[in-house]
Amino acid sequence: MSGLGLRAQLLATARAMNSQGLNQGTSGNVSVRDGSGLLITPSALPYDRCGEDDLVWMDGEGKVEGRRKPSSEWRMHAAIYRYYPQAGAVLHAHSLYCTTLACLERPIPAFHYMVAMAGGDSIRCAPYATFGTQALSDAAIAALEDRSAALLGHHGMICLAADLDHVLALAIEVETLARMYLQALQVAEPPLLPRAEMAEVLRRFADYKA
């Protein structure tokens, strides 16, 4: 998607959320940092009916430029950009397996080394807060400390990355891990990798990205 304009990239990512099974209907949202603000998907408009002009630009305080209302979760997106300067794109979804774990208030522990893709030895689950509220933004910010993905209690998942391509790939990876973890739990509580091993995996991931 790198050859597309920013609005085209955002729209392509939003539609890919549906085609990849991360999203259903009008749930979920995605944004990208754009200058002093952010470009975000609109509220209550299916992505297959959404055009580039329907995407909403807004500053970090909620001032909107566009003909549509921004996603109801704009506060969470704006807060992530404010607290985490490494975030160039943010994706929130109600993906099936992540949301199942979130409804159980269960984090994803180090049952598989790829959990380190989210930046640590676990993928935390934030406590429940009503959608679209400051409380949800605060919970997400805390769960994402030193991480690039988290579950949102009784709600879904949230990811941040440097750009739209990477945030979509991360969201797909986290959903895959959630599915594997839930499948493992059908047999038994899986053994976890030691912290020292996860630290080594994180070191190797950092070398790989360098």
- Of 41-55, 57-71, 154-168, give the range with the top mean pLDDT: 154-168
Assigned token pair, 167: 């945030």
Spatial separation of the C-alpha atoms in residues 66 and 55, rounded to whole Å: 7
Q: If DSSP codes are grouped into helix, strand and coil, which group holds residue 3?
A: coil
Higher local confidence (pLDDT), 44 or 81: 81
Residue 82: per-residue pLDDT: 96
pTM, 2 dp = 0.95
Residue 27 confidence class, pLDDT cut points 50, 70, 90: confident
Burial class (CB in 10 A: 0-12, 13-18, 19+), 66: middle
Q: What are the CA-CA distances from residue 130 to residues 50, 111, 127 (Å)? A: 26, 30, 10
Spatial separation of the C-alpha atoms in residues 58 and 174, rounded to whole Å: 28
* pLDDT surpassing 80 at residue 3: no
Tell how far CA 134 is from the center of its chain.
17
Backbone angles phi, psi at 143, to 5 degrees: -70, -25
Give 87's contacts (C-beta < 8 A, 6+ positions apart): 33, 80, 81, 160, 161, 162
**Mean pLDDT of all residues belonging to the chain:** 94
Burial class (CB in 10 A: 0-12, 13-18, 19+), 49: exposed
- What is the per-residue pLDDT across 164-206, written as a single tens digit (0 to 9) for each? 999 999 999 999 999 999 999 999 999 999 999 999 999 999 8
Q: What are the CA-CA distances from residue 13 to residues 51, 104, 160 (Å)? A: 13, 28, 13
Q: Facing residues of 92 across strands?
A: 29, 158
* pLDDT surpassing 70 at residue 210: no
Q: Which residues are catalytic?
A: 73
Residue 4 confidence class, pLDDT cut points 50, 70, 90: low
Q: Which of 4-8, 112-116, 158-162 is least confident? A: 4-8
Residue 67 confidence class, pLDDT cut points 50, 70, 90: confident
Q: Number of C-alpha atoms within 13 angstroms, CB side, residue 141?
A: 17
CB 76 within 8 A of CB 129: no
Spatial separation of the C-alpha atoms in residues 111 and 122, rounded to whole Å: 9
User: Which residue, among 44, 12, 39, has the nearest Cα to 28 in the 3D structure?
Assistant: 44
CB 143 within 8 A of CB 84: no
Percent of the chain with pLDDT over 90: 88
User: Which residue, among 37, 35, 30, 38, has the nearest Cα to 13 in the 3D structure?
Assistant: 30
In the chain, the domains with their CATH numbers are 6-209 (3.40.225.10)
Residue 49: per-residue pLDDT: 92
- What is the per-residue pLDDT across 87-135, written as a single tens digit (0 to 9) for each? 999 999 999 999 999 999 999 999 999 999 999 999 999 999 999 999 9
* pLDDT surpassing 80 at residue 208: no
Residue 114: per-residue pLDDT: 98
